[in-house]
Amino acid sequence: MTQEQIKDRLIDLDSVVATKFKGKKIPRWVMRFLKRFIHQDWMNSMLARGYDGAAFCDDLLEQMDIKIEVEGLENVPRDGSRYTFASNHPLGAVDGVALCGLISREFGPMKMLVNDFLLYLKPLAPLCVGINKVGAQARDLPQLIDEAYRSGDHLLMFPAGSCSRKVNGVVQDLPWTKTFITKSVETERAVVPVHFIGRNPGRFYRADWLFRKFLKIKFNIPMLFLPDALYHAQHKTFRIVFGKPIPSSRFDKSRKPAEWAAQVREQVYQL
């Protein structure tokens, strides 16, 4: 990999800010603080190692000394079926990285439907389908999702659409959207419930309460804390539990798709 290729993979906060806030001058001390806060140098040291896709996932976990305990893989047959892996989303980064690497190794080619922070990790691009709901791409969102479900790849979905929050004192996903149900039925994919057990540092949830609940700011401010949460996941152990696949035929018209989504969410937390 050439130096130019390596440079293209790195996070450059100056460029990101210049693109997002055109014409606005951000004080240098603010930029220095933000770079430290998102651990830009540390993150770039991980991105510069030259791995892509599943190999990047495995290398990142190894470099961060993160251990993953896995249960229930025997529940998921390797019979040529295409699966929709539906998981809770407690961490926002490590859970996506760990599941991408694991599903790729155990079940074959896969894609993760993802937005927000993980899109900035360019080595993950071969495994991702970006589904940002803002900007020009939003117009193509239905087609992107449809193409992903009709492909031969397994799919990893986080139906909450964002990482878990503290709700009534308990860290849990927000309500799951119904898309993974409707599209799995439409394309005859079995849904595999996945429970990723872990949580972010306490200040992530405090920031969420401050900005989203107290100040009523709609912008996803806690997303800015995800790089810091990724950094503090070093040297930790997380657990993943796989449930038995649910045939798409199970999601019949006896319930609305949103009700089926809520039931699968409940089943995930029971694993």
Full-model pTM: 0.87
Write the pLDDT tens digit of every residue in 60-80: 999 999 999 999 999 999 999
Q: Please report the pLDDT score of residue 220 as a whole number.
A: 56
The answer to whether residues 164 and 171 touch, using CB atoms and an 8 Å cutoff, is yes
29 confidence band (pLDDT: 50, 70, 90): confident
Q: Residue 90: pLDDT above 60?
A: yes
The answer to whether residues 102 and 58 touch, using CB atoms and an 8 Å cutoff, is no
Q: Please report the pLDDT score of residue 139 as a whole number.
A: 60
- Helix orientation angle between 179-186 and 257-270, rounded to the nearest 10 degrees: 110
204 confidence band (pLDDT: 50, 70, 90): confident
Q: What's the number of CA atoms in the CB half-sphere (13 Å) around residue 81?
A: 17
The sign of the CA dihedral 140, 113, 43, 213 is positive
Q: Residue 211: pLDDT above 90?
A: no
Across the chain, what does the average pLDDT equal? 86
DSSP state of 10: S
Domains of the chain: 1-50 (no CATH), 53-270 (3.40.1130)
Name the one residue in this structure whose structure tokens are 């992530």.
Answer: 204
The bridge status of strand 165-167 relative to strand 170-172 is antiparallel
The span from the CA of 239 to the CA of 73, in Å, is: 12
Q: Please report the pLDDT score of residue 62 as a whole number.
A: 94
The span from the CA of 196 to the CA of 112, in Å, is: 15
The span from the CA of 153 to the CA of 269, in Å, is: 26
* Amino acid identity, position 72: G
Q: Please report the pLDDT score of residue 229 as a whole number.
A: 80
Q: Residue 103: pLDDT above 70?
A: yes
